[in-house]
Structure 1
Amino acid sequence: MPRPTQRKPGAPFYFRVRVPADLVDSVGRRELSYSLQTNEEAEAKRLFAAEMAKHLAHWEALRKGPQPIPLQTITALCGEFYREWVQSLTAEPGPAGVWTGISEINKRLSGLEGEERQQALADWYGLTADGLLLRHGLVPDEFSYRRLLDHLHDTVTRATETLSRRAEGDYGPDPHENRFPASVVVPSPPPQAPRRKPGASLSGLFAEWEKQARADGKPEKTIRDFRHKVEELRAFLKHERIPDIRPADIVRWLDYLRDEKKLSGKTIGQKYLAAVRLMFSFAKSRAMGLPDPTEGLKVKIPKRQTTRDKGFTDQEARQILAAARRGAGISERMADHMRRAYRWVPWICAHTGARVNEITQIRREDLLTVDGIPCLCITPDAGAVKTGQHRIVPLHPQLVRDGLVEEMKALPRGPVFHVAGKSAKGTGGRLAGWVREHAKITDPALQPNHAWRHRMKTVCRRVGIDGEWADHLQGHANPRASGGYGEWEVAALYREVCKLPDYDA
């Protein structure tokens, strides 16, 4: 029988259950897993039972299929949204200009017609509607769903009017409050515990963002990383009620990350604060009516002191490549993919400046011949690519002469430098250790894998390869609008690659 789970003694208990097989497609996942925000076993059992009852009711509604929802219920759902949004912002509604801008957006949406209007309403209010329906175990038919979106837009227009008056200091009676039913009435509702407004808790807000992120094709790694940052904040605060989170609480958290966890200002600002700030920015974009306690907060990033350049020197590069060529660190018991990795990955990185994991995830089918030129295709199909874009990189003549192409052609389809079904990052991590141990590059100021990217830029400048060409070969995003025009022809790229000198290793 399902029960709360705990990763280790003293840690919060988790709600974790498998979704019924017949509902996986409807729910969009095979398993539900989230924190119950308590490490007390008795409380965890109570919360687990309440959450289980909610999901059982929702699954039963899914099995019954879409049902019509009467206007009274739709209006009551909108009333819940109206009261929660207005109440959360009444004390501090912000400047009146903000509500003037939102009012203009409302007017533009109101002026749309037909399918264009429906699509716009779905974009703006879809997540809010989904959260309200899930709260009450409702699965609407198409007409009822469209009707709910339309009424949500009317509700936001009315709430904007009220909050605009509040922003100007008018706290008189609310003319819109009494138009909504006092509560949502659902015929024969299944017993369930009260549930917080979707998005009003950190885990609720993250769940809404995660749904959109998956729809947008965000990498799984990014979603996991952001979940970790949000859970870190929740653990520090010892609660997750967004209306109760103040800017001063976020400042205390940032100071804790600096003073207790000893994280750098760059990590705190560009990872932790950035992830949490994105959640609240998402809430604003979806008209969730939640305050943003990160607004205006900044993390000072001290200038980093350096004792050397970030790229390998000529001597260090030759030393690593010589070790790779002679098979340093390779034993008879070593797996074939690691033999190939130690032999070829440093050389490929030296001649391409690619990220090491872009190379360790290369597959046999990513070896191409374009206009007679051997190339590697670095593509998200093989694994994570930071820019999300594929690129074709012609192989340097030295790699071809040394036998890389022949060796890859002799392999079956699949990964070249790691085991199929496992992460290519493991190979990258072992390569970093190999550089230290067997190539004897022990300077702690160097990043053994990333230093090839810095060196590539140095060599490109040395031989006169223009920055745009170097950026494309290495997979650096081009911030200029012109970078999105035209194609990068392989013959032209090969012309630039041939400017890179051979390594005398």
Structure 2
Amino acid sequence: MAGAQRYLLNRSGRFFARLVVPKDLRPIVGKTELRAPLGPDRRTAMKLLPGAVAQLQHQIAQAERKAASSRNTILPARYPLAPDQIAISHYQQRIAFDDQLRNDPRYASLGNVDDLYVAELRAGVAGRLNDNRLQDLVGEHVERFRRLGNVDAQPGSDEWRTIARALCSAELEALARVVERDEGDFTGRPTSPPLINAKALEDEPEPVSLANLWNDYVKARTMAGFMKDGGRRQRPVIESLRKFLGHSDARKVTRKDLMSWRDDLLNRISAKTVAGIYLSTIRTLWAWAVENDRLSENVAENVRQAKPKRQRSRDPGYSDKEALAILNASRVYQPTPDPFGHIREHATTIAAKRWAPILCAFSGARISEILQLRKADVFQEGDRWVMRITPDAGAVKAGDFRDVPIHQQILDLGFLDHVKAAKDGPLFNSSTDPAKSARSAQRQSERLAAWLHEQELVPKGLQPNHAWRHRLKTQARNLGLDMRIVNAIQGHSDRDMSDGYGVVSLIAKARVIDALPAYDLELIS
């Protein structure tokens, strides 16, 4: 066939027989794969392929026996074949050998078919021979397939006898063709059921590279307007799976492989992370691969991990007192100089510590969204100052941009002066490329959280930056504000189909923002 051929490799117009060395045998073989050159012509390569593969399989079988002897164990066949497949393989090799002999001028001196040998083969097919006579008759052929890794049946077992009888049948058929050919008839075909009904060996599909599959998936998602960070967050998931499997062929991954990987991850990673990031990523990737005819089955579909219900010992948002403590510390923050009086802290980090907390407090935005703000994202719309949270500046979880009115207290504290004095580009990180800005904002977020912990301003059990989102939701409920508008401000998705009708205008958002009370920052010095 013109498609992918099992074990055949084409590299720059030259063909090779190729066999991957099993991982446990690589220390013995010294290679990850074995190759044998077959030349530049495909037709010639196809004729040479079976013999070349047999030689390569023999090398692996030798390594396997060496490994087995060191472990004192018997390993299963590496390339198992059914008895009828062994029979048809033997038959085809005998016919090919007959073709080769007839091209040799010495062939005419060979004798006729041995009638006693034929009678013994017929007795073998009928099952009338004991194990010793079968061994003498076709035992050498059985061992040849054992060396190739196709057989692991023990001599004398039912399976071994079935294989031996199938080989007797194949040998009889081959001898029948030899007799026919001696009479000039080269049209003969097998007539015995084991050979007629033998299941053909299927061509092995081309491997599906896990890395290439992921890159294509990210490309498709990015083109559709998703995954603005290029899949950076999920890429370690793919690398983790590849390392665990020991190979990169997504086609060979089974449900059992994924469950074993999951159980291994749980030794190091929380159940929540395994379920929400690792397994979720693989399920989504496999679903896309099936939808796009890259894989035939979604083996990840039902591989899941239960998440323990979070046990909270307090509210997830800051209390009034806790919020005041952070905002006061933020407002008066001054960097600590080194012993030589130099300020080593970057100006954007200083600005983040001074302004990010209060911007989060009055917007409920994600800390990464605030730390990605650019000078151009703060502008005046009518008589209102607005900050625009947009994927143009970096990663935005909801995907779309949103405008958030700036609370009057932030303006009164001089935020606009800071914006006007800043250079074009990000206000709170030093990167200008949106993809790098997202990573820079993430690192800045980690620095901010570390600083809050160092100041002992974060109570146990709270996420230092995310707690502002919880707090704003609580404030909005206490004030009886429209939660659809609050969701639009915070970038939360709508929960009801009717919420998708109409738009949440800047006027509506401003009404909610203005309802939030100012912080009495003078209460704590």
| TM-score when normalising by structure 2 | 0.57
Report the CA distance between 1:198 and its aligned residue.
5.7
What letter corresponds to residue 502 of structure 1 in structure 2?
A: A
Report the CA distance between 1:338 and its aligned residue.
2.3
What letter corresponds to residue 401 of structure 1 in structure 2?
A: D
How far apart, CA to CA, are the structure 2 residues paired with 1:371 and 1:209? 42
Q: In the alignment, what sits opposite 2:206?
A: 197
Report the CA distance between 1:432 and its aligned residue.
0.7
Q: In the alignment, what sits opposite 1:428?
A: 445
For residue 278 of structure 1, the aligned residue among 284, 292, 300 is 284
How far apart, CA to CA, are the structure 1 residues paired with 2:431 and 2:295? 46
For residue 265 of structure 1, the aligned residue among 261, 267, 271 is 271
Deviation per CA, 1:299-351: give whole Å up to 9, x if none. Answer: 11121212111111111100001111222555561332222222111111111
Report the CA distance between 1:196 and its aligned residue.
6.2
How far apart, CA to CA, are the structure 1 residues paired with 2:450 and 2:303? 39
CA contact (8 A) 1:363 1:382 kept: yes
How far apart, CA to CA, are the structure 1 residues paired with 2:301 and 2:283? 8
Q: In the alignment, what sits opposite 2:227?
A: 219
CA 487–366 in structure 1, closer or farther in 2 if over 3 Å, else same: same
Please tell me whether residue 295 in structure 1 is matched to residue 301 in structure 2: yes
Report the CA distance between 1:204 and its aligned residue.
4.3
After superposition, residues 364-403 of structure 1 pair within 5 angstroms as: 364-403=375-414
After superposition, residues 60-459 of structure 1 pair within 5 angstroms as: 197=206, 199=208, 201-219=209-227, 221=229, 223-258=231-266, 260-261=267-268, 263-327=269-333, 329=335, 331=337, 333=343, 334-421=345-432, 423-438=440-455, 440-459=456-475
For residue 517 of structure 2, the aligned residue among 492, 497, 501 is 501
CA contact (8 A) 2:207 2:249 kept: no
How far apart, CA to CA, are the structure 1 residues paired with 2:33 and 2:225? 35
How far apart, CA to CA, are the structure 2 residues paired with 1:436 and 1:289? 47
What letter corresponds to residue 351 of structure 2 in structure 1?
A: R
How far apart, CA to CA, are the structure 1 residues paired with 2:246 and 2:416? 56
% identical equivalent positions:
34
Deviation per CA, 1:249-280: give whole Å up to 9, x if none. Answer: 2222111111x22x222211121111111122
CA contact (8 A) 1:242 1:291 kept: no
Query: SS in structure 1 opposite 2:498?
Result: helix
How far apart, CA to CA, are the structure 2 residues paired with 1:225 and 1:424? 14
CA 384–461 in structure 1, closer or farther in 2 if over 3 Å, else same: same
How many residue pairs get aligned? The number is: 326
CA contact (8 A) 1:280 1:290 kept: no
What letter corresponds to residue 453 of structure 1 in structure 2?
A: R
Q: In the alignment, what sits opposite 1:19?
A: none
Query: SS in structure 2 opposite 1:224?
Result: coil
CA contact (8 A) 2:251 2:295 kept: no
Deviation per CA, 1:118-172: give whole Å up to 9, x if none. Answer: xxxxxxxxxxxxxxxxxxxxxxxxxxxxxxxxxxxxxxxxxxxxxxxxxxxxxx9
Query: SS in structure 2 opposite 1:476?
Result: coil
Query: SS in structure 2 opposite 1:498?
Result: helix
- CA RMSD between the two structures: 3.2
CA 272–494 in structure 1, closer or farther in 2 if over 3 Å, else same: same
Report the CA distance between 1:465 and its aligned residue.
1.5
How far apart, CA to CA, are the structure 2 residues paired with 1:413 and 1:318? 31
CA contact (8 A) 2:271 2:306 kept: yes
What letter corresponds to residue 256 of structure 1 in structure 2?
A: D
CA contact (8 A) 1:198 1:204 kept: no
Report the CA distance between 1:398 and its aligned residue.
0.7
Q: In the alignment, what sits opposite 1:33?
A: none
Deviation per CA, 1:201-222: give whole Å up to 9, x if none. Answer: 4334324323423432432535
What letter corresponds to residue 364 of structure 2 in structure 1?
A: G
Report the CA distance between 1:383 and its aligned residue.
1.0
How far apart, CA to CA, are the structure 2 residues paired with 1:424 and 1:479? 29
Higher relative contact order (CA 8 A, sep 6+): 1
Deviation per CA, 1:461-480: give whole Å up to 9, x if none. Answer: 11122211111111112243
The more displaced of 321-330 and 447-456 is 321-330
CA contact (8 A) 1:361 1:416 kept: yes
CA 351–445 in structure 1, closer or farther in 2 if over 3 Å, else same: same
How far apart, CA to CA, are the structure 1 residues paired with 2:220 and 2:32? 29
CA 372–442 in structure 1, closer or farther in 2 if over 3 Å, else same: closer
CA 458–215 in structure 1, closer or farther in 2 if over 3 Å, else same: same
How far apart, CA to CA, are the structure 1 residues paired with 2:219 and 2:508? 42
How far apart, CA to CA, are the structure 2 residues paired with 1:239 and 1:281? 20
CA contact (8 A) 1:351 1:456 kept: yes
How far apart, CA to CA, are the structure 2 residues paired with 1:397 and 1:330? 30
What letter corresponds to residue 281 of structure 1 in structure 2?
A: A
Q: In the alignment, what sits opposite 1:25?
A: none
CA contact (8 A) 2:428 2:441 kept: yes
The more displaced of 384-393 and 334-343 is 334-343
Query: SS in structure 2 opposite 1:468?
Result: helix
How far apart, CA to CA, are the structure 2 residues paired with 1:292 and 1:345? 43
CA 363–225 in structure 1, closer or farther in 2 if over 3 Å, else same: closer
Deviation per CA, 1:216-255: give whole Å up to 9, x if none. Answer: 2432535233332122122212234445433222222111
Structure 1, gaps ≥5 residues long: 1-36, 51-171, 184-194
Structure 2, gaps ≥5 residues long: 1-21, 38-195
For residue 503 of structure 2, the aligned residue among 463, 487, 491 is 487
What letter corresponds to residue 324 of structure 1 in structure 2?
A: S
CA 218–495 in structure 1, closer or farther in 2 if over 3 Å, else same: closer
What letter corresponds to residue 329 of structure 2 in structure 1?
A: A
